[in-house]
Amino acid sequence: MTKAIQTGPAPARTEGTDNREGGHGAAVRVDGVGIRFGSFHAVDGITLDIAAGEFLCLLGPSGCGKSTLLSALAGFVRPFEGALTVDGQPVTGPDPDLGMVFQSSEALFDWLTVRQNVAFGPRMRGRSRAEQSELADEYLGLVGLRHCADRFPGQLSGGMRQRVQIARVLANQPRVVLMDEPFGALDAQTRQVMQEEMARIWQASGCTVVFVTHDIEEAILLADRVAVMTAGPAASVKSVYPVDLPRPRDEDDPAALDLRRSLRQDIGEEVRKALRDQGLDEGPDQGLDQGLDPEETS
Amino acid sequence: MTTVTVAAPPKPRAERRAVRGLRAAGLYTVSVLVGLGVWQLLALHYGPSLVASPHETLTAAGDLAADGTLTNSIIASSRRILIGWGLGLLVGVPAGLLVGQIKVVRQLLEPYIEFFRFIPPVAFVTLAVVWLGIGESSKVVLIFYTSVFIVILNTSAGVMSVGESKLRAAASLGASRGQILRGIVLPSTVPHIVTGARLAMGNSFLTIVSAEIVAAQVGLGSLIWTSRNYGRIDWVFVGIITLGILGFVFDRVLRIAASRVLRRYGVKL
């Protein structure tokens, strides 16, 4: 069984995955961060070191404060205590270096074309028109949407809209990309395609990625390391697992079995704890155990 | 327009649209004809001293048009409505943006907006004449008054309903506060502004008649009021029907212009 390793930076990748161009990702440090909304403690005492260029998944049950932590990393929410730094610089507010891909494609600007959406960041930074559309086309090409450049977001499917969001963030050439369950609202087939593309896009871009999800398979498919969070309120990091699997990854890789089991067990414990806190537990050996873990019970 | 529908199952799109258009036009015509019929019956029943028949109204309209009264009235009333309503938009849109965007402004202005919203313009007719005289300004100000609050309310509601994730996305893509206001808040508020403008146009038509009660020489409202003094029921009918048609035309033009702008916002009117 893969034992949890607490917080240290990821071990250097050795499986030939370092053929990425950029390498302009930034190291992110989360140091004893607590976030409160009034008297509600959303997140408490989180410490995480994320290496430059690493793909880190924050995995946890719904409502555990993953997104809250991500909002703080993006500079939308100020932590109550602790420090957030990117390459040693404290996060003080929204920053083009910290790109955010939102869960809902509501975040796209419906009145702008796909190309104008993607060119938004460069436009805000005063790039010339030619540079804007050049960048937009480059990143739309990366997500395979150049043929949709002149359409409006409302005319695209859910999966395409999320790809526009990803291209829009990448066109700003951020050093860290924060992703809040970006494929959560997509159907299973589309989600799978998007996950494969995400792995490719990340390798091509060289960014550091912090990816929030509640999907264990998604985390195993994408992450260098998976940080499991405890159930909220006052959520913290329960355990951190490295994912030592070669890329491109295969869903059916038998080497992932142990990891999958450990992650399931950790999440299962947290879900049960949350249900117990809500007074909904059905007893220690019922329902959830089987629902979450068919392999272990057989 | 001679698209005779032959029995060929997969009709092209343009043809289907033409058929739908003809159908709608047909129903409109039927509706108007039935209305005219009912009107004619009522006129026969009550007699010309109470209800002018469609024919009498048309004759009266011809007389009024011949001596220029009708045209002058339409021009005078339209001018007042367009100026007052236009000023209402000019002031109401920026004010609504500020009210929606800045909490302090909202809290400072809200009591007044909530207060004046419930006082109909007709209540201010006397004051308007006393303060501003019997010229154009008293009428324009009343139209402005009836337009501006509804535009402010709709615009600020639009600003406050802009999705949080859009604002956050813009901020993290490097947009400044001013850039967010111009580039995100304003365009996502446009549909609300158009709704406000249309409601304000409706209010303006409701108000123009009361604004022209006192001391207006020309205008559709003043036509209606002075006809009463002469006991000319047919002229009153001409004034009322012209107002209705004029309002319909104004709203149509506004809708067509707005839908041009709004098509890209995914809004249908």
pLDDT tens-digit readout, B33-70:
999 999 999 989 998 888 888 888 998 898 888 888 89
Beta strands in A160-229 (DSSP E): 176-180, 208-213, 225-229
- The C-alpha atoms of residue B247 and residue B205 are separated, in whole angstroms, by 7
Q: Does A109 contact B264 at a Cβ distance shorter than 8 Å?
A: no
Which residue among A74, A95, A107 places its CB closest to the CB of B166?
A: A107
| Residues of B with Cβ-Cβ distance to A185 under 8 angstroms | none
Q: Name the helix (H) or strand (E) containing A58.
A: strand A55-59
| Residues of B with Cβ-Cβ distance to A164 under 8 angstroms | none
| Tokens linked to A143 | 């997500």
- The C-alpha atoms of residue B240 and residue B244 are separated, in whole angstroms, by 6
Which residue among A100, A108, A110 places its CB closest to the CB of B172?
A: A100
Which residue among A74, A102, A110 places its CB closest to the CB of B266?
A: A110
Alpha-carbon distance A7 to nearest alpha carbon in chain B (angstroms): 27
Q: Which residue does chain A place closest to B176, by CA atoms?
A: A124
- pLDDT averaged over every residue in chain B: 87
Q: Does B174 contact A109 at a Cβ distance shorter than 8 Å?
A: no
B174 at interface of A, judged by CB pairs closer than 8 A:
yes
Q: Which residue does chain B place closest to A172, by CA atoms?
A: B173
Lowest mean pLDDT among A8-22, A261-275, B6-20: A8-22
Residues linked to residue A31 through DSSP beta bridges, in sequence order:
A83
Determine the 3-state secondary structure of A172 from DSSP: coil
What is the model's pLDDT at position B101? 87
Mutate to test the interface with B, among A101, A124, A179 (most CBs of B within 10 A): A124
The number of beta carbons lying within 10 Å of the beta carbon of residue A80 is 15
| Tokens linked to B229 | 């003094």
- The C-alpha atoms of residue B228 and residue B235 are separated, in whole angstroms, by 9
What is the model's pLDDT at position A271? 85
B103 at interface of A, judged by CB pairs closer than 8 A:
no
Whether A192 and A248 have beta carbons less than 8 Å apart is answered as no
What is the model's pLDDT at position B5? 52
- The C-alpha atoms of residue B210 and residue B243 are separated, in whole angstroms, by 13
Mean pLDDT across B87-105? 92
Q: Does B163 contact A109 at a Cβ distance shorter than 8 Å?
A: no
Pair type for strands A98-101 and A89-90: unpaired
Alpha helical stretches, state H, B67-174: 69-101, 103-116, 125-132, 136-160, 164-172
The whole-angstrom distance between residue B18's C-alpha and the CA centroid of its chain comes to 29
Give yes or no for residue B149 having a pLDDT over 70. Answer: yes
Mutate to test the interface with A, among B164, B167, B168, B173 (most CBs of A within 10 A): B173
- CA angle, corner A69, sides to A68 and A74, nearest 5? 95
Mean pLDDT across A214-238? 88
Mutate to test the interface with B, among A77, A110, A139, A175 (most CBs of B within 10 A): A110
What is the model's pLDDT at position A165? 94
Structural domains in chain A, sorted by start: 22-97+209-278 (3.40.50.300)
Upstream peptide bond of A90 is cis (omega within 30 degrees of 0):
no
Q: Does B175 contact A111 at a Cβ distance shorter than 8 Å?
A: no
Single pTM value for the model: 0.73
Buried b (16+ CB within 10 A) or exposed e, A220-240: bbbbbbbbbbbbbbbbbbbbb
Pair type for strands A55-59 and A225-229: parallel
Query: What confidence tens digit (pLDDT) does each residue in A69-79 have?
Result: 999 999 999 99
What ipTM was reported for this prediction?
0.81
Burial (0-12, 13-18, 19+ Cβ within 10 Å), A146: middle
- The C-alpha atoms of residue A67 and residue A122 are separated, in whole angstroms, by 26
pLDDT band at A24 (very low <50, low <70, confident <90, very high): confident
Cβ contacts of residue A217 below 8 Å, gap of 6+?
Answer: A251, A260
Mean pLDDT across A108-112? 90
Q: Which residue does chain A place closest to B178, by CA atoms?
A: A124
Q: Name the helix (H) or strand (E) containing B27.
A: helix B13-46
Whether A197 and A169 have beta carbons less than 8 Å apart is answered as no
| Residues of A with Cβ-Cβ distance to B260 under 8 angstroms | none
Q: Does B173 contact A76 at a Cβ distance shorter than 8 Å?
A: no
Q: Which residue does chain B place closest to A116, by CA atoms?
A: B183
The whole-angstrom distance between residue B242's C-alpha and the CA centroid of its chain comes to 14
Q: Does B172 contact A98 at a Cβ distance shorter than 8 Å?
A: yes
| Residues of A with Cβ-Cβ distance to B171 under 8 angstroms | 76, 93-94
Amino acid at A178: L
Which residue among A100, A106, A111 places its CB closest to the CB of B265?
A: A111
| Residues of A with Cβ-Cβ distance to B163 under 8 angstroms | 106-107
B172 at interface of A, judged by CB pairs closer than 8 A:
yes
What is the model's pLDDT at position B9? 58
What is the model's pLDDT at position B1? 47
- The C-alpha atoms of residue A290 and residue B42 are separated, in whole angstroms, by 78
Closest CA to B225 of B212, B234, B238: B212
Give yes or no for residue A220 having a pLDDT over 60. Answer: yes
What are the residues of chain A with a beta carbon less than 8 Å away from any beta carbon of chain B?
Answer: 74-76, 93-96, 98-100, 102, 104, 106-111, 120-121, 124-125, 152, 154, 168-169, 172
Q: Does A109 contact B266 at a Cβ distance shorter than 8 Å?
A: no
Tokens 């004051």 correspond to: B127
Give yes or no for residue A5 having a pLDDT over 60. Answer: no
What is the model's pLDDT at position B135? 83
- If contacts are CB pairs under 8 Å, which of residues 183-242 in chain B contact chain A? 183-184, 187-188, 190
Give yes or no for residue A7 having a pLDDT over 60. Answer: no
Helix axes B186-211, B220-230, angle to 10 degrees: 20
Give yes or no for residue B142 having a pLDDT over 80. Answer: yes
- pLDDT averaged over every residue in chain A: 83
Q: Which range scores top for mean pLDDT: A11-15, A201-205, A233-237, B145-149?
A: B145-149
Size of interface A-B (CB pairs under 8 A): 69
